[in-house]
Chains A and B, each alone.
Chain A
């Protein structure tokens, strides 16, 4: 018991125990509305829910999920060519990721479902209120079908396209604010055989710009 090393170690461990005890083991979870209250109409787009199967829900884990297809009105009477492909919106919100719950990365799930990534880039856009979003844009294909995908991780008012960065911010935010909530927002639309990639991108972007201002209600800042 005379060893100075012993006393130093005891001191270190005791201080650590104190530091750990002073922090509870529950997150601060800010109030948010259930995703089902997402508006069913954005401009010309109207929604239809696509229920997730129990299997899928089990794999996704403990969170709130929105899986919807927004279809464009047979818009602007006349020109049949304006009938655009529908847009699928998926949002997975996790109020707490403390239990080791991690969001499924589309980088795995899309290839797992048979899609290959043709191109990807990080970009940003402004929603209709002028708020800046940093997102990833991807073109995926499966056989002859091509889709344009926008997704990003949204947490505490921050949008991040990269999953590792999102994870690092989650850790940093957990340390600073004791919050581990976060969400994945994914918008997909098919690139129709007779349209250009740009037209699909425009469609997805315009939809996202209209939808994004709603996000803070469901994914608190």
Chain B
């Protein structure tokens, strides 16, 4: 049961905010936390198993494994602030807890994976609000938001964003290839090279790696930038980068087909959707970041 570990990681991770502040009188005893944690496991184990299964089987969501660790790191990184945050139990969190529970029940009964998964983040927020107060929710807002990155977005909506981007990438690539001596004919996302067609089966999907790239950009921005404005800029840069990486993928394959070996080119094309894409995207992210620093150098100690 390889998921058990990750499941445990996922379930214990949100516990961190509950246990980290110590020595305050408003705290509940450990038994109280343990019973809440136990109930959370009972409520969410099915949702969590399915989520971890999706991370491991859908390549576009393999970044999901990193997200809980990143969130845990963020919390650990903020431990001093969290310890200094006054704990004030509040009734205001209870409506949010009720709301999350309703969302969870509807999600499970309605077989809507996105809502049942999101309810976990709502519920964590609600519980923190109830037992530690609004100030703690504010202090933990970034790690809580980061968890959203691990939740696969509903395809029906996500395609509205990613599909036009994929069309754009296909169009750009089919403009570039003839300049490099590769004649192409493109119809939507299907690109016809002299000897083969590309993307036939994938014609209906958008840029599937967008979510991974966005997550990567968030991590990158967090570690290498100081201000939120720049971090948001970097995160948004993931959208043009995703398009550029896809253009590179199609052009690269086209060149291989023309000047090398069609058979190997196809292997390359598929490989390209994996780690090569990742490296190219990371390189693009780095270049964008450098460009940002050149255009407006970060001023020290200002926000």
Residues on A lying within 8 angstroms of B by beta carbon are 1, 3, 5-6, 8-10, 12-14, 16-17, 19-21, 23, 25, 27, 53, 55-56, 58-59, 97-100, 102, 104-105, 108-115, 142, 163-164, 167, 170-172, 174-175, 180
Contacts and interface: CB of A to CB of B under 8 A. Distances in A.
Closest 4 CB pairs of A and B: A114-B187, A112-B203, A55-B201, A109-B204
A23 B188 CA distance: 44
Interface string B34-47: 01100110110010
Contact of B190 (A20, A55, A112, A163): A112
B248 to A, nearest CB: 20
B202 interface: yes
Contact of A112 (B36, B40, B50, B163): B163
Instruction: Give the interface residue-count category, chain B.
Output: 35 or more
A157 B281 CA distance: 47
Contacts of B200: 53, 55-56
A114 B31 contact: no
Given A100-B113, A175-B110, A114 B97 contact: no
A16 B205 contact: no
Given A12-B97, A53-B201, A112-B190, A20 B108 contact: yes
A1 to B, nearest CB: 6
Interface of B: 28-29, 31-32, 35-36, 39-40, 42-43, 46, 50, 54, 89, 91, 94, 97-98, 101, 104-106, 108-113, 127, 130-131, 152, 154-156, 159, 163, 166-167, 186-190, 200-206
Given A9-B127, A17-B39, A175-B110, A59 B186 contact: no
27 contacts: A5-B130, A12-B98, A12-B101, A13-B36, A13-B39, A13-B43, A17-B42, A20-B105, A20-B108, A23-B108, A23-B109, A53-B201, A55-B201, A56-B201, A100-B50, A100-B54, A100-B152, A102-B156, A105-B204, A109-B204, A112-B189, A113-B187, A113-B189, A114-B190, A171-B112, A174-B111, A175-B109
Contacts of A163: 156
Given A16-B105, A20-B105, A59-B204, A113 B89 contact: no
Given A112-B205, A113-B203, 8 more contacts: A1-B31, A5-B131, A6-B32, A9-B97, A58-B201, A109-B204, A114-B188, A167-B156
Contact of A108 (B97, B111, B204): B204
Contacts of A99: 50
B158 to A, nearest CB: 10
Contacts of B50: 99-100
B190 A113 contact: yes
